[in-house]
Structure 1
Amino acid sequence: MIPLPKHTQVLIVGAGPSGLMMAAQLLRYGIVPVIIDTRQGPTSQTKALAVQARSMEIYRQMGLSNQALKEGKPATGAVLHRGDTVMARIPLTEIGVGQTPFPYVFMLPQSKNERILLDYLTLNCCPVYWETSLNALRQTGDGADATLQADDSTHTLHADYVIGADGAHSVVRKQLGIPFSGDTYAHKFYLADIKFKDGFDDDCLHMFLSNMGFAAFFLMPEERTYRVVGNLPAALDKDGITFEEVLPHLRAVTTQPLNIENQNWFTVYKLHHRMADKFNEDRCFLIGDAAHIHSPVGGQGMNTGLQDAYNLAWKLAGVVTGQLAPGILISYAEERMPVARALLSSTDRAFNVITSQSFFSNLFKRFIVPPLLKYIWKKDKMRTDAFRALSQIGINYRDSKINLHLSHNSKIKAGDRLPYLEIFDEKKQEMTDIHAWCSKPGFTLITIGIVQENYLFALAKWITQQYNLTLNFFHLPPSDKNQHILDTFEIRPGQRKALIIRPDMYIGYVNDIIDMDMMDNYLREVVAFSPLTP
Structure 2
Amino acid sequence: MAPIPQSPVKVIIVGAGPSGLMMAAQLLRYGIQPVIIDKRQGPTQYSKALAVQSRSLEIYRQLGIIDTVLAGGKPAQGFNFHYHGKLKGSFAIANAGEGQTPYPFIHIYEQHKNERVLLDYLTSKSCPVYWNTTLTSLQQGTGVVSAKLNNGEQDYSLVADYLIGADGAHSAVRRWQHIHFDGDTYDSRFYLADVVMDTGGDYMNMYLTAQGFAAFFPMPEANTWRIVGNLPSKLLNKDNLIIDDVLPALREKLRQQFTIKECRWFTTYGLHHRMADKFRIGRCFLIGDAAHIHSPVGGQGMNTGLQDAYNLAWKLAGVIKGHLKPDVLHSYAAERMPVAANLLKTTDRAFNLIMARGIVAGWIKRLALPFLMNRIWKKEKFRHEVFKTISQIGISYQNSDLNLHLSQLKAFKAGDRLPYLKVFDEKKLQETDLHAWCSKPGFTLITMGPLQELYLFSLAKWITQNYNGWLNFFHLPPSVKNQHIYDAFDIKEHQNKTIIVRPDMHIGLINDIVDLEMMKNYLENVAGCIPHNTEGI
The TM-score normalised by the length of structure 2 is: 0.98
CA distance in 2, matches of 1:437, 1:450: 20
1:323 maps to 2:323: yes
The runs of 5 or more residues in structure 2 that have no matched partner are none
The aligned runs of 1:169-180 (5 Å cut-off) are: 169-180=170-181
Q: What is the one-letter code of the residue matched to 1:458?
A: S
Q: What is the one-letter code of the residue matched to 2:204?
A: L
Q: What is the one-letter code of the residue matched to 2:372?
A: L
2:246 is aligned to 246
1:96 is aligned to 97
1:302 maps to 2:302: yes
CA distance in 2, matches of 1:241, 1:515: 67
Shift of 1:261: 1.2
2:212 is aligned to 213
1:163 is aligned to 164
**Aligned-partner SS, 1:372:** helix
The answer to whether the Cα contact below 8 Å between 2:448 and 2:475 also exists between their aligned partners in 1 is: yes
**Aligned-partner SS, 1:455:** helix
**Aligned-partner SS, 2:482:** helix
The answer to whether the Cα contact below 8 Å between 2:194 and 2:224 also exists between their aligned partners in 1 is: yes
The aligned runs of 1:310-389 (5 Å cut-off) are: 310-389=310-389
Shift of 1:257: 2.3
Alpha-carbon deviations, 1:446-504, whole Å to 9, x = none?
00111111100000000010111111000001111111101111111111000000000
Q: What is the one-letter code of the residue matched to 1:344?
A: L
The answer to whether the Cα contact below 8 Å between 2:109 and 2:220 also exists between their aligned partners in 1 is: yes
Shift of 1:437: 0.4
2:194 is aligned to 193
Shift of 1:43: 1.7
CA distance in 2, matches of 1:482, 1:216: 44
CA distance in 1, matches of 2:285, 2:421: 34
**Aligned-partner SS, 1:454:** helix
The answer to whether the Cα contact below 8 Å between 2:443 and 2:472 also exists between their aligned partners in 1 is: yes
CA distance in 2, matches of 1:295, 1:84: 24
The answer to whether the Cα contact below 8 Å between 2:415 and 2:506 also exists between their aligned partners in 1 is: yes
1:26 is aligned to 27
Task: Among all aligned residue pairs of Structure 1 and Structure 2, give the percentage whose two residues are the same amino acid.
Answer: 59
The runs of 5 or more residues in structure 1 that have no matched partner are none
Shift of 1:160: 0.7
Shift of 1:227: 1.2
1:17 maps to 2:18: yes
1:231 is aligned to 230
**Aligned-partner SS, 1:60:** helix
Q: What is the one-letter code of the residue matched to 1:153?
A: Q
CA distance in 2, matches of 1:508, 1:43: 38
Alpha-carbon deviations, 1:142-176, whole Å to 9, x = none?
12110101113111100110000000000000000
Q: What is the one-letter code of the residue matched to 1:245?
A: D
1:139 is aligned to 140
Shift of 1:85: 2.0
Q: What is the one-letter code of the residue matched to 1:26?
A: L
CA distance in 2, matches of 1:418, 1:393: 9
The answer to whether the Cα contact below 8 Å between 2:14 and 2:164 also exists between their aligned partners in 1 is: yes
Alpha-carbon deviations, 1:361-384, whole Å to 9, x = none?
111010011121122211121111
2:55 is aligned to 54
Q: What is the one-letter code of the residue matched to 1:465?
A: Q
Q: What is the one-letter code of the residue matched to 1:14?
A: G
Shift of 1:241: 1.7
What CA RMSD, in Å, does the superposition of the two structures yield over aligned residues?
0.9
CA distance in 2, matches of 1:427, 1:279: 45
Larger mean CA deviation between 501-510 and 144-153 belongs to 144-153
**Aligned-partner SS, 1:230:** strand
Alpha-carbon deviations, 1:44-79, whole Å to 9, x = none?
114200000000000001111111000000001110
The answer to whether the Cα contact below 8 Å between 2:422 and 2:432 also exists between their aligned partners in 1 is: yes
Q: What is the one-letter code of the residue matched to 1:222?
A: E
CA distance in 1, matches of 2:456, 2:425: 17
CA distance in 1, matches of 2:218, 2:336: 29
Q: What is the one-letter code of the residue matched to 1:357?
A: R
Larger mean CA deviation between 367-376 and 314-323 belongs to 367-376
Shift of 1:6: 2.6
1:524 maps to 2:532: no
1:282 is aligned to 282
1:123 is aligned to 124
**Aligned-partner SS, 1:459:** helix
CA distance in 2, matches of 1:365, 1:403: 42
User: How many residues are treated as equivalent by the alignment?
Assistant: 532
**Aligned-partner SS, 1:158:** strand
CA distance in 2, matches of 1:375, 1:82: 17
Alpha-carbon deviations, 1:11-49, whole Å to 9, x = none?
000000000000000000000000000111112114200
Runs of 4 or more consecutive aligned structure 1 residues displaced over 4 Å after TM superposition = none
The answer to whether the Cα contact below 8 Å between 2:389 and 2:395 also exists between their aligned partners in 1 is: yes
1:462 is aligned to 462
**Aligned-partner SS, 1:481:** coil
Shift of 1:258: 2.4
2:416 is aligned to 416
1:401 is aligned to 401
Alpha-carbon deviations, 1:181-213, whole Å to 9, x = none?
0000011111111111x224x301000011232
CA distance in 2, matches of 1:187, 1:291: 23
Shift of 1:137: 0.3
The answer to whether the Cα contact below 8 Å between 2:85 and 2:253 also exists between their aligned partners in 1 is: no
CA distance in 1, matches of 2:44, 2:452: 55
Shift of 1:217: 0.7
CA distance in 2, matches of 1:455, 1:36: 49
Shift of 1:322: 1.1
